[in-house]
Amino acid sequence: MPDNSPRSRVPVVDCHAHVLPYFGSAAGFSSPEEHLLYVQRAMHTHGSQPVRRSRDHAVVSAPTLWDPDDPSPSGRYDVGFRVGRDGRFEWTKDGEDYYIQFMPPTLQTMEAPVDFMIHQMDYAGIDVAVLQNDHIYGSLNEFFAQAVEKHPDRFIGLAQVEEPLAYRDDQVARLRRAVTELKLGGLYFTTSTFFTVGYRYYYDDPRFAPFWAEVEALGLPVFWVFPTSSPIGDFGEEMRRFRSWCEAHPSVDSVLVHGIPDPPFLGGDGSLSLPDWMLSLLREHPVHAEILYPLRWGGVWDYPYPQAHDRIRYYYETLGAEKLLWGSDMPNVERYCTYRQTLTYFTEYCGFVSQSDMAKILSGNVLRLLGRSVGVEPPR
């Protein structure tokens, strides 16, 4: 159960967690088949867990799910992509079976119900969870609203739209309803869904002006998911365009979901150093970053991830505590470590962070962005 040391008594808000219905269901889409389109695309681009051949578990690097030269839906391979059990997605290509262990094996029924997550939070010592929602989990505004209604002091839900269609009136109305009626507290916006339009245009196109105006009017922070590489370009190109967006929308707070990808900024000796263009983006605009090392690096490093502590120190000393938000990506992260360990690798091994700054990173910053407060005592 949660430790009762003074550092652990700081209120804890997980800024990145999930509740989700069965992966093989429609999950808010028009059909299970439409839902699985997004899941199959995500497994094609997923880099943390390898594709394996079922008969011998050998890692396979050749693309088996999607034509790498065609990011549009027409590039999808017809391979009988399906939901397995115990965290796996499975498919068959040219008579050979393949799988990817995307979720932890403990996710036996490929779902994370609301009460399951509440019990996980109680056991790990998490007061509140911010529910994020990529389309691979479903179209879940209503599902999140039900979770928030059942546990208003434990969950804050982020709204979701169909990003490539966000310029349309129906998507603007969808966002407004998610906030005003369903009581969701921010916007989750992933650029990966632009595969559905073949990346012919992007979120910064002038056609999206009414949507972003609605985001501003509602006072919403945007939780962004940017790839490190896409048909748009590398991470530097993504950030160049994002900076232009920030300059056009200076009042909108932004969060880089999964944090800042370290590899583009590592020196030959493994040290981390952000270039001036990245530092200026973070310092001159209301842009924040998640701290999410167990999920991003847990497949390479072992707990308590001492390599992460050096990098967190760099971000802390370079950007300041006000720019950082702690998150886990639960239940995904349990393929590498326990939920509790996603917290303690930071709280118990980063003594260079002051108590007041620890409180900002663990809860204060994200609650400020979402206009909320912690209304419950930490689980005992």
In tens, the pLDDT along 123-172 reads 999 999 999 999 999 999 999 999 999 999 999 999 999 999 999 999 99
pLDDT in the model for residue 5? 44
Is 7-20+112-370 assigned to CATH 3.20.20.140? yes
Query: Per-residue confidence at 4, pLDDT binned at 50, 70, 90?
Result: very low
pLDDT value at residue 319: 98
Cα Rg, the chain, nearest whole Å: 20
* Mean pLDDT rounded to a whole number for the chain: 95
Closest to 248 (Cα-Cα) out of 289, 290, 201, 215 = 215
- Bin 327: left if φ > 0, else alpha if -120 < ψ < 50, else beta: beta
Question: How much is the pLDDT for 378?
Answer: 33
pTM: 0.94
In this predicted structure, the answer to whether residue 102 has a pLDDT above a threshold of 90 is: yes
pLDDT tops 50 at residue 13: yes
Query: Per DSSP, what are the bridge partners of residue 330?
Result: 17
7 pLDDT higher than 60: no
Sign of CA dihedral 291, 297, 299, 304: negative
How far apart, in whole angstroms, are the C-alpha atoms of residue 271 and residue 249? 33
Average pLDDT for 235-256 = 97
Per residue, what are the HEC states of 340-372? Answer: HHHHHHHHCCCCCCCHHHHHHHHHHHHHHHHCC
Residues in the chain: 380
pLDDT at residue 126, as a whole number: 97
Inform me whether the pLDDT recorded for 117 exceeds 50. yes
What distance in Å separates the CA atoms of residue 30 and residue 73, rounded to the nearest whole number? Answer: 17
Tell me the C-alpha to C-alpha distance, in Å, between residue 193 and each of 200, 214, 227: 12, 20, 11
What is the mean predicted confidence (pLDDT) over 71-92?
A: 98
Helix (H, G, I), strand (E, B) or coil at 120: helix
Band the pLDDT of 56: cuts 50, 70, 90: very high
Is residue 9 predicted with pLDDT exceeding 80? no
Which residue do the tokens 């992966």 mark?
23
Which pLDDT belongs to residue 374? 60
Report, as an integer, the average pLDDT of 264-277. 94
- The tokens describing 279, both together, are 């530092």
Q: Where are the alpha helices (DSSP H) in 151-262?
A: 169-180, 209-218, 235-248
Does residue 347 register a pLDDT over 90? Answer: yes
Helices 141-150 and 169-180 cross at an angle (nearest 10°) of: 10
pLDDT at res. 120: 98
Q: Where are the domains of the chain?
A: 7-20+112-370, 32-101
Are 348 and 311 in contact, with CB atoms under 8 Å apart?
no
Determine the average pLDDT of the residues in 84-111. 98
Place of tokens 């509740």: 19
CA distance 362 to 291: 10
